[in-house]
Amino acid sequence: MGKAGGGDLPYSQPRRTRLTVVSRKIALDSLKQEIREHIELETEENIERGMPPDAARIAALRKFGNRTLVLEDARSVWFPVWLDQLLQDARYGVRTLLHNAGFTSVVILTLALGIGGNTAIFSVIDGALLHPVPFPDAGRLVALYQKTPRDQRNAVSYPNLLDWQRQSKAFEGIAGVRNSGFTLTGYGAPRQLMGLMVSSNFFSVLRTEPLIGRVFTEKEDQRGGTPVALLGEAFWKQQFNADRNILGKTLQLNSRAVTVIGVVPASVRLDRARGTLFNDIFTPIGQNDSDLFYHRGAGDNTQGLGRLKRGVTLAAARVEMNTITRNLAAQYPVDNADVGANLVSYQEEITGNLKPVMFALAAAVGIVLLIACANVANLFLARSASRSQEFATRLALGAGRGRLLRQLLTESLLLSLAGGCLGLTIASWFTKAALAVLPTALPVISEVRVNAHVLWFALAISLLTGILFGFAPALKAGAANIQTMLREGGRNISGSRREWRYVLVIAQVALTAMLLINAGLMMRSLSNLWKVNPGFDVANVLVFHTSLSAGRSSSPAKIRESLHELNERLKSIPGVESASVEVGGLPLEGNSTIAFSREGEAMNSKSMRMANFYAVSPEHFSALGIRLLRGRAFTDRDTSKTPPVIVIDDDTARRMFPGGEAIGKHLHNTLTDSLAEIVGIAGRVEQAGPDADRTAKDRAQFYFPIAQVPDAILPLVSNGLNAVVRSHVATSTLTGSIRATLAKFDSERAVFGVEEMSDIVGASLASRHFYLLILGAFAVTALILSLVGIFGVVSYLVNQRTNEIGVRMTLGAQPGDILFATIREGTAAGLLGIALGAAGAAALTRLLGTLLFGVSPVDAPTFAAAAILLFMLTALACYLPAQRAVRIDPAKALRCG
């Protein structure tokens, strides 16, 4: 061996431990430069010998080609030893895993299920909870509502909103937002569009720009402004094939000519209509042509959306808005008495009560991953036992135990990374499938997809999983005795390894029991919800929405005439039993509220209560199948020229008139602004669903004749009509008849939102269906993984104890004894796991508290059913390999020893 300074190549014997990273790179660069200089010198000499330049160059490269071997020696100068060893471990691990293709495939598939499920749920959590608002600097966005002592989240009256905009100093801007329907004509049949009426500063508040064109100006955002509109991206592409020449063209919206000035990105979506989004069209909110909209006491579905100035906290903005609303209450005592402002972080507004649900699903899918890890760890323990002679030989030849430990961890990491790659594919499919099954379970503006955050999460969880399932087997292999492993040759199994396997089985069963119990509770909750009487008959009922054109709504008298004619036309459709045209609330589809008080009580905010109101046609109760308990329904004689009448629900009757008869009494209300006589008592309708919040349940329910709606409110009525039709005719046939009838009645207006009431009821439970589907899928996956794990462990133990079983049978043990002992050993672990799982489930169910209905989080029948099912399946998983044990030939078993 030459010294470091001797020979033609002084770097051929590097002393790695003494060289720094800088000196190594310098040495390598110097070596490369020396080779280049030799090649250039040889090329010049070849040219002087008369060789052509190209041939001279090729000859020089050939002569010094062997010198490139110097680069291989130089590699040791800069290539770290640990990295070289790691690559060796990786190459050896890949060869080993490919040699055991069956084992490798099972492990990768098992891990892919666990990692894929976790990644899919994380993509939902990331889109719905961590980054729910797809607008820049979303943390400064604030939702603004009016609040009263009766309700904390009321619509904002437009005059109040304008005062908030002018007087607030805490916000960069406050915009008004109001969803609305628009009828597009001039492109074939009338088409209903769902859109938003917004303030001119709406897009600056969101920090978003149009794809093409411009946004509204302040002059356009006021009454009498130039009629303009922005198209939503999806509608622009669908209706106009993404034509960029759409700017400046005129559209007929609600019988009014408006000019298109821009296209809004599809990401601008703040609200969801049934089956679609409110982002087809955008118009200036200040051009609303309803006089009631500009009344300070009317909110008319308007919400405020503001952006805080930098450095201003939400608490400081609340203090300022409280001052502003107190001043407005003093300035306008009639309309603004006790009216305050409620400011809510927009991110919290979007996520709502989704956090406990998402965390519960994350816990469930995390449990599946732990079960998968336990399964794979068991497989690794079995495999490491079969490789004991290999490990012993490597240790005997001088391999360090740390190197052996690292080799096994490298193999587990390779498997987890492969499982992670396959899991990403599963996650992508699962996420798309979940969104297709139930898009309404998530916030409307959230973007759930596999993005950079999800990819980093998948990588992290893959590495963590590899360490988690590979650590125990690697540790056992590294701590094993060489002589024992060489002597046993992998034929027998030590008591400690058996205990390790049973610990993993117990963990698997416990985690599976937790998922099964929670899925069972969700199933019982859903069953209880379906049994609740909604207060109306959903069978054979169809609902739809429409509006009246300008010609049909030119005056209050014309509107009343049109409403009556429309109702009569619907009743005349063949097969229709009853029909009702109405406004206000519709069960499970939204509500409209008014304030009321008893006769003789003062009309102020302290004494008045809130009620859901329904302005309906005479056949409303028969059309929806609502029971009329006492009194009468409305008739055609209840008109605008007769005294106001009202029907209330039975719960309100009992609360308002305890111990007395409500029929004939009078209630003052803000809809008719007069006393209305109670002429009927109807059954209570589950307006917001059987599990709605108590606020909605405590509201009274008032029914008014639609013919008695005041003239001032009729323009709003004409823009949003509901219709309920009861018929035994097939839905497709009835829908066609309704469209044909409405086309003859008003050719400028569209029919939209046609649905069966049974579908609406089902949609109200859709989120619970979704959570049950997810929990059920995870529970079944966990059950399969656990049973496979139990079967594999018992089978492996039977194989390892073949010699022992042969000896016992030779000494007189009966097959039944062997069978019972084998099953007992596995089921004992299963029982302990079930007990631990039940205890864990009692804690986990607290996360599902908001989703449970009519069932206790520690419901004994559910816990017992899950425990019995899991025990029976555990016993079955133990019985199958135990059957093989009793069929062992003692003579062959002894020869195996």
Buried b (16+ CB within 10 A) or exposed e, 478-510: bebeeeebeebebbbbeeebbebbbbbbbbbbb
Q: How is residue 148 written in tokens?
A: 């009263």
Q: At what angle do helices 401-437 and 766-800 cross, to 10 degrees?
A: 150
For the chain, give the percent of residues with pLDDT over 70.
78
pLDDT value of residue 513: 87
Q: How is residue 602 written in tokens?
A: 């003062």
104-143 confidence digits (pLDDT tens): 887 888 888 888 877 877 787 777 666 667 788 888 999 9
Whats the size of the chain, residue-wise? 897
Range of lowest pLDDT (12-16, 578-582, 860-864): 12-16
524-559 confidence digits (pLDDT tens): 887 787 777 788 888 899 999 898 888 888 888 999
Asked whether the beta carbons of 453 and 132 are under 8 A apart, the reply is no
Residue 333 has pLDDT above 90, yes or no: no
Which residues are bridge partners to 306 per DSSP? 142, 174
pLDDT value of residue 481: 55
Count CA atoms within 13 Å of residue 337 on its CB side: 9
Read off the pLDDT band of 498 (50, 70, 90).
low
Residue 571 has pLDDT above 60, yes or no: yes
pLDDT value of residue 201: 95
Residue 610 has pLDDT above 70, yes or no: yes
pLDDT value of residue 717: 81
pLDDT value of residue 373: 79
Give the DSSP letter string of 311-332.
T--HHHHHHHHHHHHHHHHHHS
815-838 confidence digits (pLDDT tens): 777 778 778 877 888 889 899 989
Residue 714 has pLDDT above 90, yes or no: no
Outline where 49-141 has alpha helix (H).
Answer: 53-63, 69-78, 81-99, 101-125
CA 284/CA 573 separation, integer angstroms? 39
Range of lowest pLDDT (143-152, 174-183, 251-260, 806-815): 806-815
Give the DSSP letter string of 751-782.
-EEEEEHHHHHHHHTHHHHHHHHHHHHHHHHH
* CA nearest neighbour of 440 among 793, 76, 769, 156: 769
Average pLDDT, stretch 373-401? 68
CA 805/CA 828 separation, integer angstroms? 20
- Within 10 angstroms of residue 258's Cβ, the number of other Cβ atoms is 21
Average pLDDT, stretch 636-652? 92
* CA nearest neighbour of 235 among 182, 284, 197: 182
- CA 663 centroid distance within chain: 48
852-886 confidence digits (pLDDT tens): 777 888 888 989 998 998 888 888 888 877 777 66
CA 463/CA 450 separation, integer angstroms? 18
Buried b (16+ CB within 10 A) or exposed e, 715-747: bbbbbbbbbbbbbebeeeebbebbeebbeebbe
Average pLDDT, stretch 223-242? 93
Residues near 639 by Cβ (< 8 Å), separated by ≥ 6? 705, 707, 708
More confident site: 498 or 744: 744
268-293 confidence digits (pLDDT tens): 888 776 667 888 999 999 998 877 78
CA 481/CA 462 separation, integer angstroms? 31
Residue 93 has pLDDT above 50, yes or no: yes
More confident site: 232 or 30: 232
CA 52/CA 46 separation, integer angstroms? 8
What letter does residue 169 receive in the DSSP assignment? Answer: S
pLDDT value of residue 174: 96
For the chain, give the percent of residues with pLDDT over 90.
27
Average pLDDT, stretch 75-98? 68
356-382 confidence digits (pLDDT tens): 677 777 777 778 778 877 777 777 776
CA 46/CA 554 separation, integer angstroms? 102
Average pLDDT, rounded, for the chain: 80
More confident site: 897 or 216: 216
pLDDT value of residue 315: 94
* CA nearest neighbour of 827 among 781, 864, 794: 794
